[in-house]
Copies of this chain bind each other. A is one copy, B any other.
Amino acid sequence: MTNPVLVEVTRGAVIESVHRGAVSVFDADGKPVWEIGDTERPVFPRSAVKAIQALPLVESGAADAYGFGNRELALACASHSGEPAHVELASAMLAKAGLDKTALECGAHWPSNHAAEIALARAGGAPNALHNNCSGKHSGFVCTCVHAGIAHAGYVKSGHAQQEMVRDAMQAVTGAAHGVDNSGIDGCSIPTYAVPLKSFALGFARMATGRGFAPERAKAAKRLLSACMAEPFLVAGTGKADVALMQAAPGRIFVKTGAEGVYCAALPELGLGIALKCDDGAARGSEVMIAAVLAKLLSSDEAVAAKLSELAHPAVESRIGAKVGLLRPTAALN
Q: Is the interface of A mostly helix, strand, loop or mixed?
A: loop
A188 near B11: Cβ-Cβ < 8 Å? no
User: Which residue of chain B is the closest to A10 with respect to CB atoms?
Assistant: B184
A287 close to chain B: CB less than 8 A: no
Contact indicator A12/B261 (Cβ below 8 Å):
no
**A271 touches B (CB below 8 Å):** no
Name A14's contact: one of B118, B182, B320, B322 (CB within 8 Å): B182
Interface string of A272-283 (1 = CB under 8 A from B): 000000011110
Give complex CA distance A188, B43 in Å: 37
* Contact in complex: A16, B319 (CB < 8 Å): no
Q: Which of B2, B19, B20, B122 contacts A121 (CB 8 A)?
A: B122
Q: How far is the CB of A183 from chain B (nearest CB, A)?
A: 6
A223 to chain B, nearest CB (A): 29
Q: How far is the CA of A203 from the CA of B199 in the complex (A)?
A: 49
Pairwise interchain contact B281-A319, C-beta atoms closer than 8 A? no
Contact pick for A181, options B13, B108, B279, B322, CB 8 Å: B13
Q: Does A100 contact B (CB under 8 A)?
A: no
Say yes or no for A153: interface residue by CB 8 A criterion: no
How far, in angstroms, from A187 to B325 measured CA to CA in the complex? 11
Interface: A194 (CB within 8 A): yes
Size range of the interface on A? 35 or more
- With beta carbons under 8 angstroms apart, the residue of B2, B9, B108, B184 that contacts A324 is B184
The interface residues of chain B lying within 8 Å CB-to-CB of A124 are 122
Given A11-B185, A187-B319, A188-B319, do A16 and B194 touch, yes or no (CB 8 Å)?
yes
A183 to B20 CA separation, bound complex (whole angstroms): 25
In contact, A318 and B187 (Cβ under 8 angstroms): yes
> B185 near A18 (CB under 8 angstroms)?
no
Interface assignment of A59: CB less than 8 Å from any CB of chain B: no
CB of A17 closer than 8 Å to a CB of B: yes
A318-B188 in contact (CB<8A): yes
With A109-B319, A121-B118, A280-B282 in contact, do A260 and B16 touch (Cβ < 8 Å)? yes
Does A247 belong to the interface (CB within 8 Å)? no
Contact A44 B16, beta carbon cutoff 8 Å: yes
**When chains A and B are docked, how far (Å) is the Cα of A182 from the Cα of B13?**
7
B185 adjacent to A260 (CB under 8 Å): no
Interface 0/1 of A153-187, CB less than 8 Å to B: 00000000000000000000000000001111111
Counting from the closest, the 8 A-B pairs by CB-CB distance are A107-B319, A12-B184, A17-B281, A11-B184, A121-B121, A280-B280, A107-B320, A185-B324
Sample of 19 A–B contacts (CB below 8 Å): A2-B2, A11-B194, A12-B183, A12-B184, A12-B194, A14-B182, A16-B281, A17-B261, A20-B20, A107-B319, A108-B319, A122-B122, A132-B319, A184-B324, A185-B322, A187-B318, A189-B318, A189-B320, A282-B282
